[in-house]
Structure 1
Amino acid sequence: MVAAARQLLAGEGLDAVTHRRVAQEAGVGRATVYRHWPRADQLLLEAMGGAELPLFRDPELPVRPWLCRQLRRMADELAIPAVAAVSLTLAQSALSDAEFAHRQDESVRTITERIHAAVRMAVAAGELEADVEPSDLAAMLVGPIVYRAAMQRGPASDGFVGRLVDSVGTWR
C-alpha cells in the first residue's frame, strides 16, 4: 500500500493519494487502507516519508527562469483545492504531533537548502547580486505562494511568480 501511495504521489501528485486510489493501485479493499491510515493526512505523510521531494531539485543556469518554473509548478499544485487542503492539514498536524513536525522540518530544510544552492549558483555565475539568509529566501519565495493559494484561494500568476523571484536581489 505504501508503494502504491508513493507511485501515485510521484506520478500524479499529492491529490492522487487518496484511500480509494491507493486501494485500487495496491489491489486491496479501501477498508484495509483506512484501517492502517484512518485520516488522509496520515496516508499522505506515509507516502511522503522516504519519497524524494521533486521541487527545486537540480538547479540549472540561467537560474532565474529555472526558479520561476519551480515556483510555477508549486503554485499550480497548490491551486488544486485538495492539495492545498492536505498541505494545510499537514502543517496544522505538525503543531501537535512530533512525527508530523519532524517530517515537516525535513521538507522545509530540503526546500531551504535547494533554493539556497540555486541562489548561490546564480550569484557565482554573475546572474544575481543578493545577500539574503537561506531561511529568508525560502520564506520570501514559497511563503507568498502558500498564502495566495491557501488564504486568498487564488492562482499565482506568472507575473506574481516573477515578482517574487525578482524580490531576492538584482538579476542580470
Structure 2
Amino acid sequence: METPRDDPRFLRSREAIGGAARALLLAHGPGAITHARVAEHAGIARATVYRHWPRTDQLLAEAMATVPMPFFDAPGTPTRDWLVRELTALARQLDLHDVRVVATTLANAALWEEHMDARRAGFADLLTARLTEALEAAQARGEVELHAAPRDAAALAVGPLYYRATIERGTTDDATVAALVDHLGRWS
C-alpha cells in the first residue's frame, strides 16, 4: 500500500517547496522564508506548504539544511586571523533573529524528534570536524599551543557565541571574538 510519503505528488511538492525555500534563502536571507513566499515561488498552494511544514521555523530549518555551511571551510593561515574572521562571520549570522530562531528550534526539537536530532548531530559533527582539523593543523605547524584538546577547543570557540545569541539574545562584538580565540591557547 502506497503511503502519502511514497506518493509522487507528495514528493514533487516537497521537492518544489524545498527548492523554493532554498532559492529564497540564498537570494534574500532567512527573513524571506514564509509560507506565502515559498508557496508563491514554488507555484503551489500555501496550504500545501503548511501540510509539509506547519511552522515557519521548521520550514526555515529545512531550507537552511539544504544550503552548504559556509563556515570554517578551507582554513587559511595564519590560523588565528582565519579563526577570528570565521567566528566573527558566525557571530554576525547568529545576530539575525531568524537564525537564532532556527538554532534554538533545532536544539529544542532535537530533544524529542529523531530527524531533528540527526540534523543537529550532522551540523555539530561537521562544524566540530572543520574546527578540530584547522586547530590540529595549526598546532602541528607550531602556530598555537592549545590549552585543551582541539575538539574541546572547537566547542570552547563556538559555545560562547551560541550562548550569547540564543540564551542572552545578545550580540558578540569583535573584541569578544578575538578574546575567545586568544583564550584557546598560546598563539605564536
TM-score (norm 2): 0.82
Q: Which of these residues, 98, 111, 119, is aligned with residue 135 of structure 2?
A: 119
Partner of 1:100: 116
The number of residue pairs the alignment matches comes to 172
Q: Which residue of 2 aligns with 1:17?
A: 33
Q: What is the rounded CA distance, in whole Å, between the counterparts of 1:26 and 1:138 in structure 2? A: 38
Measured in 1, the distance between the counterparts of 2:28 and 2:74 equals 20
Letter in 1 for 2:36: R
User: Residues 41, 164 of structure 1: CA spacing in aligned structure 2 closer, same or farther, 3 A cutoff?
Assistant: same
Structure-2 residue corresponding to 1:59: 75
Q: Give the whole-Å Cα distance in 2 for the aligned partners of 1:24 and 1:132.
A: 50
Structure 1 residue 128: Cα displacement: 1.2
Query: Contact 1:129–1:171 (CA<8 Å) still a contact in 2?
Result: yes
CA deviation vs aligned residue, 1:59-85 (integer Å, no higher than 9, x gap): 111111111111111111111222212
Q: Helix, strand or coil: the match of 1:170? A: strand
Q: More displaced, 41-50 or 69-78?
A: 41-50
User: Which structure is larger by alpha-carbon Rg, 1 or 2?
Assistant: 2
Aligned mates of 1:20, 1:71 — CA distance in 2: 33
Residue correspondence of structure 1 range 83-98 to structure 2 within 5 A: 83-98=99-114
Once the two structures are superposed, the pairs formed by residues 135-154 of structure 1 within 5 Å of their partners are 135-154=151-170
Per the alignment, do residues 149 and 45 of structure 1 end up closer, same or farther by CA in structure 2, a change over 3 Å counting?
A: closer
Q: Which amino acid aligns with 1:76?
A: R
For residues 115-170 of structure 1, what are the alpha-carbon distances to aligned partners after superposition, in whole Å with 9 as ceiling and x for unaligned?
Answer: 01111222233221225334312320111011111222221111100011111111
Distance 1:7 1:42, change over 3 A: same
Letter in 1 for 2:35: H
Find the residue that maps to 2:68 and give its secondary structure.
Answer: coil
TM-score, normalized by length of structure 1? 0.89
Which amino acid in 1 is paired with 2:58?
A: Q
